[in-house]
Structure 1
């Protein structure tokens, strides 16, 4: 009986998974994650259906996504779920212009998505590797892709194009936006609370290892801080965020960095890690007494506050501010400081409730 649905969400530092019973209400059967793949990886599985909670180390690390998937597969096998899974839903970071809704991942779709790897070089490869691993483990299951870029596809054309020659725009050098599955989930929660208006003019702050903001009106994406790639916008854990293109030219022409060296610098050695010289982990930086750590946190707050102002301008005001993802859900001091930076927009953070609002 293949009545269960497996959902896999592979990121740059984690693999989240859940299994749902395939009926109208989609009750969860299993939920967990493999976190911190780069250092001290851990497997965590919530207690469910008579099974005990799991929280155990997977070694000193690092481990790759294949090893993380093997840990997930072992959990599924232990709970006799492998033969029950008939469909697998995958988070795919980049859908380009063509993939704007959930799509069955047949050979043709996979080939098209591989062509987008240069636009999301870290995530797209990981996402498609997980698809291949799941297809091998579960040959009976239908593989379905859901795309982070799809949520932003309805933005106004002016929010998508750059000041580049038209031929380049028509060739796909446009802003796509990312974290769309997270934003879509938040919209559903806003509609549950506020009805069809979804909180009116809302800015959602997806603050994690990768970070972005999205301005939405009645649940529809209007503008977002990530653009052509996942490098754009906010300062992130190890990614630089928005950068003067002249710096890239300088690094290539004058500093003679290769394109590979430049990619490593911008994706893996910059952001909070680069500024602090200590860590890309926000909790580590908050707990550090090093002035460089404090400066990295200050820069993160400054850039979020500045981008909130930009997105509020695109919306013509602000009714609702939402925090989500690892930092947004688990760092009260960051929420409070961002709220203070947006006080001019009448944002008010309840100090006591904020301290209690941990994931």
Structure 2
């Protein structure tokens, strides 16, 4: 049989690459003669760089130290592909797990801009930026500042970093803003949220970053102020991704917002991998109704259905009914006996899940 193993990362637990290896190891323990191909995926968040690196072995990985979302130095990796495309991942430079403590008003995306600037200096002709897992709600202002944009108050003073400071924004000065690369900038997102309002970046995702009700109101107003001066389309689906970073880079730098999981699947050759496949194994940390809207698993289910392959899903937890397009599903929490057990040794339980699926999805 031909088997494609294409999971997302199990966020905070195991990378997509390690998850794919563990699932394949379990499958091959029961069916050692099968043709198993590993194709770890991402939707624009954590694991985007690793997904590209695993699928494109000619990519050159570069690592640099940049200011993290709270100003402390962090290590961020990016890729330079043979065709001149640079692949960046906000989660590595400006992600929520990088915070020493929550700071919803002051966290920023400056580090992402530093990485983008380095990619341009290295000769990148196109940027692909995964947006997901951000610590901030700054509308991408920090990243744009690192790229040369000046954000000033009424007195002509440069604003401090952080989303709350945008409430005092009076002027944008793009005199020294680096131009976008000739091949453009693609922003990979996994949400359809607009920039502001009850479904926007501050209201929906601010509380996940430590924002109280008053903080959400302040941040939402600050993002509205940014939109008043930057123009663009704050209501575009996905504009609210990564605390509004998608909006800021689109409005000021001309970047294009695209569905992350779908675009990554195209770029790493998912369709070719699925041609002739009998089974697809995929998974993520939590499988629920949101998995079917722009996430890796939902994208895999559609692609596998078109290819005529059966699908096995592994998730840390499964919330809600499993759709009929899934042939078999394994929640690691039930396999391990508890959340704590599943998190303590995810590779072990993913391996066992892979073997269990090999038995459920085959007849011989």
Q: TM-score, normalised by structure 2?
A: 0.35
- TM-score calculated relative to the size of structure 1: 0.35
- Structure number with greater CO (CA < 8 Å, separation at least 6) is 2
